[in-house]
Chain A
Amino acid sequence: MCAQRHWECVGRCLDSIGVCGIAGLFSKSPGVSERLGLHLSEMLLQLSDRGPDSAGVAFYRDPAPPGWSKVSLFSADPRQDWAGVATALGAGEPEVHGSHAVLVVEAEAGEAVEWLRERYPELRVMSAGEAIEIYKEAGRPERFVEEFGLSALSGSHALGHTRMATESRVTTDGSHPFSTGLDLCLVHNGSLSNHNRLRETLRAEGIEFQTENDSEVAAGYLTWRLREGASLEQALEGCLDDLDGFYTFAVGTKEGFAVLRDPIACKPAVMAETDDWVAMASEYRAIAVLPGAEEAATWEPEPGRVYSWERTPVP
């Protein structure tokens, strides 16, 4: 064994803790739900140094009434006429945040998305479902939090990401979270190596992709497994066999969120729980900003093990 090999091996293990920050917050109390946006914003700002290229969030909030659905849209045109889109779609008043708008439509999510793509091909559908809203933008997280007015948002749970770009360009499209299915989203710290091939396999299964990003493939993989009848936990366990690369994932669904690290545990993650919230982040300092963090049960998630929390539906 030579010195060069030694340092290559050790260096690879020690260097891999950087690149991208992720955060997730799941509320267990009305107080935390009320201030979910404020808390997640503070978490993101702590992770700004890990990902200065772009930032993004997914919020689960204000579920659409039965028969209605919710669509998040992005427009590159700063003067986008969102009211016009809403009227054409028969949607209620659009909720505009920065370059994005959320529309609540009396239609199935799939139908609304199809109609939008046909009628407004210049708009990008960021998410669709009952409760999910996605906002993301290139640029520093500080500016993002302010421009999108995140601090004012309430909700049941939320995920966030600060990106240091590796596998695809610094654009809004390449930013996280990625959503490839209704009410499902994924944020990723790491890098996948078999995403090109897997993307083709999933396309053949009818999963749609909007970018060349590796993390979107992971989201697509989960969408496919869930569509085929797997539970979220089973779908995530499938990642251990079918994804090649390194990752810490945080995944959001309508009811909850889940965390998975690759079996080598290249990427950092820390979790904490109190009576009021469950949180995960790339670094503890992003958890330290939460109320009661000092007294929280705090641990490092084990490699290759799925951690998940679900909201029990109100009877």
Chain B
Amino acid sequence: MDLAQTPLRELNAALHAPDVAGTWRVLNPRGAHALAVGIDAPVEVEIDGHAGYYCAGMNKHATVRVHGNAGVGVAENIMSGTVVVDGNASQSAGASGRGGMLVIRGSASARCGISMKGVDIVVQGSVGHMSAFMAQRGCLVVCGDAGDALGDSIYEARLYVRGSVAGLGADCIEKELRDEHEAELGALLERAGVTDCSASEFRRYGSARRLYNFDVDHAGEY
């Protein structure tokens, strides 16, 4: 579908059709907002260019690839499926995501994985400040560096950073990278198609659990 000719609403409506299937190629996205949002089917969507805000938001089952950069809130509230950004992502990538995987081949700016609730995010470059702010579940993997206040007010998400961390946020601490974490991390890197680094090169960060009334007996409910 060529967005130079077809209105964006038509693209999204077509992707929401009950019988939608196959592979879709989107031409001339030119920074349009809300591209390929709310898909609920195992389709593949290839976006040839830069995307605007909220691309692939609320994604379920679909695989959406952005062959360019993505604006604010890419894959926000992703439920399942996979979203891959070849370039860089702007702020709040994967915000509030509940499941599935977000892969960013470049870097993500501030607040990557803010309030994440189960999505796994793999960033091959670096992330900006306040990433994984109030993160609850899922993993944020950063192959480069992390900005200031990483994991501020974090709940139960797991953060893996290979490079330097400018600063940890409130209640976020470094934790031991045990075998089970290395295994988890290795599997995430493999799923994300990252081949140039190994799990043992990362450090793990998570919640000190001093900021909220955490009861370890209820850990399974998070």
Contact = CB atoms under 8 A, between A and B. Distances in A.
A299 B88 contact: yes
B32 A268 contact: no
Contacts of B96: 10
Interface in A266-315: 268, 270, 283-289, 293-294, 298-300, 302-303
B88 A300 contact: yes
Contacts of A287: 31
Contacts of B109: 265, 300, 302
Given A10-B114, A299-B88, A1 B49 contact: no
Interface in B12-56: 30-33, 49-50, 52-53
A226 interface: no
A14 B114 contact: yes
A284 B111 contact: no
Contacts of B71: 268, 270, 283-284
Interface in B75-115: 87-88, 90-92, 95-96, 109-111, 114-115
B130 A1 contact: no
A85 to B, nearest CB: 43
Nearest to B211: A1
A9 interface: yes
Contact of A303 (B53, B90, B128, B212): B128
Contacts of B212: 1
A301 B160 CA distance: 25
A288 B211 CA distance: 44
A285 B95 CA distance: 22
B130 A298 contact: no
Contact of B129 (A14, A298, A303): A303
A230 interface: no
Q: How large is the interface on B (under 10, 10 to 19, 20 to 34, 35 or more residues)?
A: 20 to 34
A10 B115 contact: yes
B59 interface: no
A284 B47 CA distance: 15
B73 A298 contact: no
A285 B31 contact: yes
Nearest to B106: A299
Contacts of B134: 6, 9-10
A286 B30 CA distance: 9
A152 interface: no
B153 A1 contact: yes
Contacts of B87: 298
Contacts of B142: none
Contacts of B50: 284, 288, 298
B90 A14 contact: no
Contact of A13 (B53, B128, B130): B130
A268 B72 contact: yes
B202 interface: no
**Which of B30, B96, B153 has the most chain A CB within a 10 Å cutoff?**
B30
Given A10-B133, A303-B110, A303-B129, A283 B73 contact: no
Contact of A9 (B53, B110, B133): B133
Given A10-B96, A10-B133, 15 more contacts: A9-B133, A13-B133, A14-B114, A17-B72, A264-B110, A268-B71, A283-B33, A283-B71, A284-B69, A288-B30, A288-B31, A289-B30, A300-B91, A302-B109, A303-B128
Interface of B: 30-33, 49-50, 52-53, 69, 71-73, 87-88, 90-92, 95-96, 109-111, 114-115, 128-130, 133-134, 153, 211-212
15 contacts: A9-B153, A10-B115, A13-B111, A13-B130, A14-B73, A14-B95, A265-B91, A265-B110, A268-B71, A268-B72, A288-B31, A298-B69, A300-B91, A302-B109, A303-B129
Interface of A: 1, 6, 9-10, 13-14, 17, 264-265, 268, 270, 283-289, 293-294, 298-300, 302-303
